[in-house]
């Protein structure tokens, strides 16, 4: 990937002398940004621009070319790339649009481009992209005419949309953030976003990476790359939608939508997801400061109102206001003109007008061991204070470095002064009180997520896999019959992987059902086992609390008649007989195979109302024990499971083990498209859990 950003000779193909030609803009951008290499303009009409000769083809150029930038009509791109290959050019940026995003014919052109690239070993960005920028050497080849509005810095951008990428550059320019590298990957036909991410993680000039993605090609690879990153990765993922619009075959499919999987995957990989430009700008700024390692904040404010707003924001963001020592507060009070404000945290310094003293107070707060970070809320009263305020900022910048704690600096003053501060000081300036605190909350989350990701690995937690051959045989049997696993087969598969299941027996007649119930114990449960019936309760396919053999026989007969009237085409294999399970809490465990991320696990609160509650947590498999615990603790209903309001605590350790075994099952068998354990009855602590029902849907071959 380095060759994309550091060429020494560049051919811009698609240049003409016409004033509206976009290719000439690319040449102009290379001049504007001070590109340090040699640029050759190429276009079939020849001529010259800016005293620069336009070659009619790349073959006419006498020198070796490192990289070609192609902006010609889509139909010509395969032949142009062929010429590049013959010339010995091995890297290209194809900015032309009009491919698969446009027509079926465009998709065929893409296949031709791929064929030419494979023939000559060419790596290329695009097509349908806006180009690339490297601030270190002035390489700037987007086709819009650009001014050098962004300063050199350490933020690098990978974007699937050129327009969004340009907006990000404008945001960075307005916030005084510096750019290192920029690339628009477009249709990702050859070099994709994961390739660029992997390169930028090792790039010396890049300290923070922002990605705008409308689709994710290889989610598991992205996770693996991101986990290794010592640099923050911010991602704006758009094009949000659920996996399917049709009625789902299992609860898991409806609950585990694509976007929820993306959230889970990003969390596991330490990727910070942003949803708007405000969050993007604030996160880019706060991540330049030392991390917020703890939850104890000190708030220093020139305005009492701002102090109250900050205190509210702290509570909403999960921060604590650190207690300030009396000696610290009394020293501050000595400098007040009148003792009319009761000092506490947050500090209301409305009666203090000595800005030099403000700096001493912020430093004193940073020196308190119980303070993990400071929010400083400054209000400029008049232009006469501008110079003193700037010196105050300079002092605080030094303190941040000295004490290795963050100071989130809020500034309310004239717009022109805010712009000046952002452009002239390499330090984040915030202009909204609540967003200032939220940015620190993100810093705290990122720091602790990185600590967890890079903690020494725990001992191997891979569950025993003695049942792998048994599950393989069950799947082979179902495949041979052209169906998914039936209910008893699904329960056998779960049990083979060490997930406790309720005792059960299949019955093909009322009499068999009664005999099975006699052996298993009353009260009994009947459940229909049929290939095409996913949600048994919806068709009257479950009967509970059957007290004796006659009740079982009667229920069997009634259920069979009712189900056949509702689902006449269903092939009913019989009824599963189970004893009534002991009382406990109900969870749903599930899994599905995601096209981008592979096997995904789910745990939720619910039973038959799981879709109503939508209290679910997802993780990409495989998971470790700590992640299984985190899944449970992240449920809104976790306090109930843990024993809230005098309830007996549930056996959460048993659920953790069930999740680990389910994770292993999903990893071992990628042909499992969807899986439900619904419900999983969780008994009181020490008594385990039981899978009462199961559904396993296989992928199409």
The reported pLDDT for the residue numbered 455 is 77
Q: What is the pLDDT of residue 254?
A: 42
Q: What is the mean pLDDT of residues 13-39?
A: 95
Once rounded to an integer, what is the mean pLDDT over residues 3-31?
Answer: 96
Whether residue 339 contacts residue 333, with contact meaning beta carbons closer than 8 Å, is answered with yes
The pLDDT assigned to 50 comes to 79
Q: Is the pLDDT of residue 248 over 70?
A: no
**380 pLDDT band (50/70/90 cuts)?**
confident
Written as six digits, the tokens of 28 are 């102009």
Residue 249 has pLDDT above 50, yes or no: no
* pLDDT for the residue numbered 611: 66
Residues 39-42: contacts with CB under 8 Å, at least 24 apart: 39/10, 39/12, 40/9, 40/10, 40/11, 40/12, 40/65, 41/11, 41/12, 41/15, 42/11, 42/12, 42/13, 42/14, 42/15
Structure tokens at 83: 């010429």
Is pLDDT of 666 > 90?
Answer: yes
Q: In order of start, what are the domains of the chain with their CATH numbers?
A: 2-214 (3.40.50.720), 291-451 (3.40.50.261), 503-579 (3.30.1490.20), 585-698 (3.30.470.20)
Residue 245, pLDDT score: 36
Give the pLDDT confidence score for residue 246 in this predicted structure: 37
Confidence of residue 28 (pLDDT cuts 50, 70, 90): very high
In the prediction, which pLDDT does 349 show? Answer: 86
Q: Per-residue confidence at 407, pLDDT binned at 50, 70, 90?
A: very high
pLDDT tens column, 667-691 = 999 999 999 999 999 999 999 999 9
Asked if pLDDT for residue 244 goes beyond 70, the answer is no
Say whether pLDDT at 337 is over 70.
no
Which H or E run includes 24? helix 22-32
165: buried, middle or exposed (CB in 10 Å: 19+, 13-18, 0-12)?
buried
Q: Is the peptide bond before 622 cis (omega within 30 degrees of 0)?
A: yes
Higher pLDDT, residue 380 or 155: 155
Please, are residues 677 and 659 in contact by the beta-carbon 8 Å criterion?
A: no
Q: Alpha-carbon distance 99 to 127, whole Å?
A: 8
What value does the mean pLDDT take over residues 314-328?
94
Q: What pLDDT band is residue 356 in, cutting at 50, 70 and 90?
A: confident
Alpha helix segments (H runs only) across 534-651:
549-566, 610-613, 625-633, 638-642
What pLDDT is attached to residue 138?
97
Is the confidence at residue 250, as pLDDT, over 50? no
The whole-number pLDDT of residue 401 equals 97
Separation CA 136–CA 131 (nearest Å)? 16
Q: How much is the average pLDDT of 249-267?
A: 69
- The rounded Cα 534 to chain-centroid distance in angstroms is 31
- Residues 607-659 have pLDDT tens digits of 666 666 788 999 999 999 999 999 999 999 999 999 887 788 999 999 999 99
Task: Report the distance separating Cα 669 and Cα 529, nearest Å.
Answer: 23
Distance CA 355, CA 378 (A): 10
- Return the axis-axis angle of helices 162-175 and 415-424, rounded to nearest 10°: 100
Mean pLDDT of the chain: 91
**Which residues, including other chains, have CB under 8 Å from residue 608's CB and lie 6 or more apart?**
535, 537, 678, 679
- Residue 218 pLDDT class (50, 70, 90 cuts): very high
**Per-residue pLDDT, 253:** 42
- Residue 514: other Cβ atoms inside 10 A: 22
Confidence of residue 338 (pLDDT cuts 50, 70, 90): low
Q: Average pLDDT for residues 168-189, to the nearest whole number?
A: 95
Q: Give me the pLDDT at residue 645, please.
A: 78
């Amino acid at each position: 990937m380095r060759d994309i950003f550091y060429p020494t000779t560049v051919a811009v193909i698609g240049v003409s002398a016409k004033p509206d030609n976009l290719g000439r803009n690319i040449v102009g951008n290379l001049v504007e940004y001070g590109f340090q290499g040699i640029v050759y303009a190429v276009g079939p009409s020849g001529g010259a621009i800016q005293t620069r000769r336009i070659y009619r083809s790349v073959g006419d150029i006498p020198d070796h070319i490192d990289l070609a930038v192609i902006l010609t009509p889509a139909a010509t791109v395969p032949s142009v790339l062929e010429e590049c290959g013959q010339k010995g050019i091995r890297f290209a940026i194809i900015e032309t649009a009009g491919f698969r995003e446009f027509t079926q014919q465009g998709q065929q052109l893409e296949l031709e481009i791929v064929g030419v690239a494979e023939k000559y070993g060419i790596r290329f960005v695009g097509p349908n992209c806006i180009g690339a920028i490297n601030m270190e050497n002035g390489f700037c080849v987007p086709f819009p005419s650009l001014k050098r509005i962004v300063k050199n810095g350490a933020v690098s951008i990978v974007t699937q949309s050129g327009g969004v990428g340009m907006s990000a550059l404008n945001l960075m320019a307005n916030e005084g953030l510096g750019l290192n590298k920029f690339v628009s990957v477009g249709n990702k036909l050859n070099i994709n976003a994961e390739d660029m991410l992997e390169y930028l993680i090792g790039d010396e000039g890049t300290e923070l990476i922002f990605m705008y993605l409308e689709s994710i090609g290889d989610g598991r690879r992205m996770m693996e790359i991101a986990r290794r990153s010592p640099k923050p990765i911010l991602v704006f993922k758009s094009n949000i939608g659920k996996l399917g619009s049709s009625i789902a075959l299992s609860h898991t499919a409806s609950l585990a939508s694509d976007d929820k999987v993306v959230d889970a995957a990003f969390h596991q990989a330490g990727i910070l997801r942003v949803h708007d430009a405000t969050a993007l700008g604030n996160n880019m700024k706060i991540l330049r400061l030392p991390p917020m390692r703890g939850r104890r904040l000190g708030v220093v404010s020139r305005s009492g109102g701002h102090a109250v707003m900050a205190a509210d924001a702290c509570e909403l963001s999960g921060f604590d206001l650190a207690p300030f020592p009396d000696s610290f507060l009394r020293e501050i009070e000595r400098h007040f003109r009148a003792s009319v404000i009761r000092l506490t945290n947050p500090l209301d310094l409305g009666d203090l007008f000595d800005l030099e003293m403000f700096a001493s107070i912020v430093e004193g707060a940073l020196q308190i061991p119980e303070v993990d970070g400071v929010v400083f809320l400054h209000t400029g009263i008049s232009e006469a204070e501008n110079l003193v305020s700037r010196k105050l900022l300079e002092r605080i910048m030094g303190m941040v470095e000295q004490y290795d704690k963050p100071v989130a600096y809020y500034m309310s003053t004239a717009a022109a002064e805010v712009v000046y501060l952002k452009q002239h000081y390499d330090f984040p300036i915030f202009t909204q009180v609540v967003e200032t605190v939220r940015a620190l909350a993100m810093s705290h989350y990122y720091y602790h997520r990185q600590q967890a990701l890079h903690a020494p690995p725990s001992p191997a937690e891979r569950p025993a896999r003695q049942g792998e051959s048994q599950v393989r045989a069950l799947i082979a049997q179902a495949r041979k019959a052209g169906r998914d696993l039936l209910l008893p087969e699904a329960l056998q598969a779960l049990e083979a992987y060490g997930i406790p299941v309720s005792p059960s027996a299949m019955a093909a007649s009322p009499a068999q059902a009664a005999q099975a119930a006699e052996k298993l114990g009353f009260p009994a449960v009947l459940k229909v086992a049929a290939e095409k019936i996913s949600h048994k309760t919806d068709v009257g396919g479950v009967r509970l609390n059957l007290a004796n053999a006659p009740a079982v026989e009667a229920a069997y007969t009634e259920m069979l008649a009712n189900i056949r009237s509702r689902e006449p085409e269903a092939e009913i294999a019989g009824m599963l007989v189970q004893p009534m399970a002991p009382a406990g809490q109900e969870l749903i465990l599930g899994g599905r195979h995601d096209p981008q991320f592979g096997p995904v696990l789910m745990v939720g609160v619910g039973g038959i109302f799981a879709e109503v509650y939508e209290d679910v947590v997802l993780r990409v498999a495989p998971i470790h024990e700590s992640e299984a615990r985190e899944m449970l603790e992240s449920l809104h209903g976790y306090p109930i499971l843990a024993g809230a309001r005098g309830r007996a605590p549930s056996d959460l350790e048993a659920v953790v083990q069930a999740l680990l075994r389910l994770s292993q099952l999903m990893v071992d068998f990628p042909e499992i498209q969807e899986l439900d354990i619904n419900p999983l009855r969780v008994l009181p602590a020490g008594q385990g859990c039981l899978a009462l029902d199961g559904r396993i849907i296989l992928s199409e071959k």
